[in-house]
Amino acid sequence: MRNRLLFSLQLGFTLLVCAFLIVPVVLSILAGLTVNYFVGLESGLTLRWVIAVWDGYRDTIFLSIGISLACLALTLVLGIPTAYVLAKRQSALSRAIEELLVMPVAVPGLATALALIVTYGSLQGFRTSWTFILVGHVLFTLPFMVRSVLAVLMAIDLKTLEEGAASLGAGFWRRFRDIVLPNCRAGILAGSLMVVTLSMGEFNMTWLLHTPLTKTLPVGLADAYASLRLEIGSAYTLVFFLMIMPLLIALQLFAQPRLEKFVAEDDKND
Amino acid sequence: MRRETQTLIFLLLPAGIFFAGFFLIPMAELFVIGGSGDRGWAAYAAIITDANYFETLIATLGVATATTIVTLIISGITGVFLQRHKFPGNATLVAMLTFPLAFPGVVIGFMVIMLAGRQGLIGQVSMALGGDRIVFAYSMAGLFMGYVYFSIPRTILTVMAAAEKLDPKLEEAARSLGASPMRVVFDVIIPGLKPAFISAGAICFATAVGAFGTAFTLATRINVLPMVIYTEFTLAANIAMAAALSFVLGAVTWIVLALARTAAGATVAAAG
């Protein structure tokens, strides 16, 4: 009897928390599709606001997709070798390197952006180009790629696999390509999804790094929230939801289970 | 062996150059510029000595502390509940609770406006009930609500992962010895989840101290450190002060996270 009551109380609480998170999402989706949100749904549904967003802010969508893909390419090139080295050499030095790499996540984006501006702001061609934003995004997302790949590399017996291949005459690059990369596929996939999602939504740095010609999606959102009617802001948010939804679903599907088959027997029961 | 070391250094080189060129050097530059303004190096003490900045610092730390406590309580209850009771619909609830995980701060700000803004749900409901239109989005209360909204999804995930590893036998033992549900919560579950609470709490705190997007969407008048830095930089063009303040802000969040990692790690080691 008492257990039942306790269960119901907790379930009720959980549903309330859920409502707190989801109700505003639903409201904003509705607002983006309503003719006049102030009047309510009776005023009818329309795609007018979504079309207005597409006309006015299309560029921000493409720029964000472009930057997030470039960011992914760079984090792959920079992050996978780093994770490999950190997995091979576990010393105080490699821990210090890992700690350093995570700093751009720990330090507020505002500080990183200011640091980039005071250092490179006078390089006109660089300051006004989208690559300026890209640099910030790579700093911020690189640790996620490194950690994700590192986690997988630590869970497999990299040493034995590599020694086996080496004893069969495989050189370093051959081992890296045929042994290391295929084995950390799961980590690379999870890291990639994380990097793209984070880059797509990054605002703290981007707001300071952008110029009027290099507006990303979240920058456009902030613009729309500040200056346009609620319906357009909502429609724009709806577009953003549609873009990150597939990424989030993929993240939940691929990144959640920690791929048991890679885990050595001993590590399972800790 | 020597050749292998060379290869490893070579592999580390691209990331090393990128990181040094675009983070370490700029951060050093930021530090130097912070000391180059009217106040000189005293700018770094201004956050304590200047009454205005100090007030902002207290307000920022206050809202971050409140966010951390409230988020931990909410996510603690919800996370443990969802991990313990696998009823139909459980997975849907978890998916809904973690959906806002990837929302940027600006979108979170907009969600607060949808709830507590001028055309928000809370205002409409309060009017329909015959009261005044309640609007609190554009204030510290709105910011607090936004930070809690932002922190719940990631904290729930951490709590659920930690709760999965708790040994139910400990709770059974406590219960069979006659402990009340409250005693079990405070003497078994909470101590078991302590490392998760510390690390998730530190992340809540650090984001609430350093986040900018939510405050930016809600109002430029909200007096928290990131907003003050932004105003110093853009409106007052006081780059030195903005640099000094943001360097201090960065140091604070980094120290909080580093301390929490050490504390959580130590507890884990002690428990194991």
Query: ipTM of the assembly?
Result: 0.86
pLDDT tens digits, one per residue of A114-130: 999 999 988 888 988 99
Tokens read off for B265: 């790690």
CA–CA gap between residue A36 and residue A31 (Å, rounded): 8
CA distance A67 to B256: 31
3-class DSSP assignment, residue A216? coil
Supply the pLDDT for residue A2: 67
Q: Chain A window 55-94: which residues touch B at a Cβ cutoff of 8 Å?
A: 74, 77-79, 81-82, 84-85, 88-89
Secondary structure tally for chain B: helices H, strands E: 14, 0
In a domain, B106, yes or no: no
Q: What is the mean pLDDT of residues A39-61?
A: 84
Over 70: is that where the pLDDT of A106 sits? yes
Residue B66 within any structural domain of the chain: yes
Amino acid at A221: L
* Of the candidate ranges A7-21, A126-140, B206-220, B255-269, the one whose mean pLDDT is the lowest: B255-269
Among the partner-chain residues A13, A237, A252, the one whose CB lies closest to the CB of B110 is A237
The CATH code for residues A57-268 is: 1.10.3720.10
The pLDDT score that the predictor gives to residue A248 is 80
Answer whether B158 touches A (CB < 8 Å). Answer: no
For residues B58 and B253, give the distance between their C-alpha atoms in angstroms, rounded to a whole number.
Answer: 14
Q: Do B213 and A218 touch (CB under 8 A)?
A: yes
B26/A115 touch (CB, cutoff 8 Å), yes or no: yes
Both structure tokens of A111: 């500080």
B18 touches chain A (CB under 8 A): yes
Give me the CATH number covering residue B204: 1.10.3720.10
Assign A35 a pLDDT band (cuts: 50, 70, 90). Answer: confident
User: How far is the alpha carbon of A241 from chain B, nearest alpha carbon, in Å?
Assistant: 9
The whole-number pLDDT of residue A125 equals 86
DSSP A263: S
Q: What's the whole-number mean pLDDT along residues B74-94?
A: 91
| pLDDT, position A1 | 58
| B29 phi and psi angles, rounded to 5 deg | -60, -45
User: What integer best gives the mean pLDDT of chain B?
Assistant: 87
A24 part of contact set with chain B, CB < 8 Å = yes
Q: Positive or negative, the Cα torsion across A199, A203, A208, A213? A: positive
d(CA B167, CA B171): 8
C-alpha span between A76 and A142 (Å, rounded): 8
Confidence of residue B143 (pLDDT cuts 50, 70, 90): very high
CB contact residues (below 8 A), chain B span 127-146, against chain A:
none
Given a cut of 80, whether residue A259 has pLDDT beyond it is no
pLDDT of residue A244: 87
- Is the Cβ–Cβ distance between B243 and B75 less than 8 Å? no
H/E element, B148:
helix B140-165
Q: What is this structure's pTM?
A: 0.86
CA atoms in the 13 A half-sphere facing the CB of B247: 26
Task: Write the residue in A77, A110, A112 that is nearest to B226 by C-beta.
Answer: A110
Q: Does A120 touch chain B (CB under 8 A)?
A: yes
Residue type, B142: G
The answer to whether residue B34 sits within a structural domain is no
- For the cut 90, the answer to whether the pLDDT of residue B266 exceeds it is no
- Mutual orientation of helices A2-33 and B90-98 as an angle, nearest 10°? 50
Question: Which two three-digit tokens encode residue A175?
Answer: 């081992």
- Given CB atoms, is B183 within the 8 Å cutoff of chain A? no
CA-nearest of A249, A122, A240, A173 to B105 is A240
- Across the interface, of A7, A17, A100, the residue whose CB is closest to B78 is A17
Assign B265 a pLDDT band (cuts: 50, 70, 90).
low
* CB neighbour class for B269 (10 Å; exposed up to 12, middle 13-18, buried from 19): exposed
Total domains present in chain B: 1
CATH 1.10.3720.10 domain residues, chain A: 57-268
Helix (H) or strand (E) holding A17: helix A2-33
Q: Measured between CB atoms, which of A74, A201, A222 is closest to B102? A: A201
Neighbours of A186 (CB within 10 A): 20
Distance of CA B238 to the CA centre of its chain: 27
Which range marks the domain in which residue B257 is found? 39-101+154-208+220-271
What is the rounded distance in angstroms from the CA atom of residue A9 to the CA atom of residue A3? Answer: 10
Q: Do B238 and B43 form a contact (C-beta atoms < 8 A)?
A: no
Q: How many CB atoms lie within 10 A of CB B271?
A: 10
Strand runs labelled E in chain A: none
CA distance A176 to chain B (A): 11
* Percent of residues, chain A, with pLDDT higher than 90: 38
pLDDT of B271 > 50? The answer is: no
Neighbouring residues of B143: CB distance < 8 A, sequence distance ≥ 6: B63, B112, B214, B215, B218, B222, B224
Of A149, A160, A225, residue with least CA distance to A187: A149
**What span, in angstroms and rounded, lies between the C-alpha atoms of A225 and B106?**
9
The whole-angstrom distance between residue B201's C-alpha and the CA centroid of its chain comes to 7
pLDDT at A242 over 50: yes
Q: B214 to chain A: which residues are within 8 Å by CB?
A: none
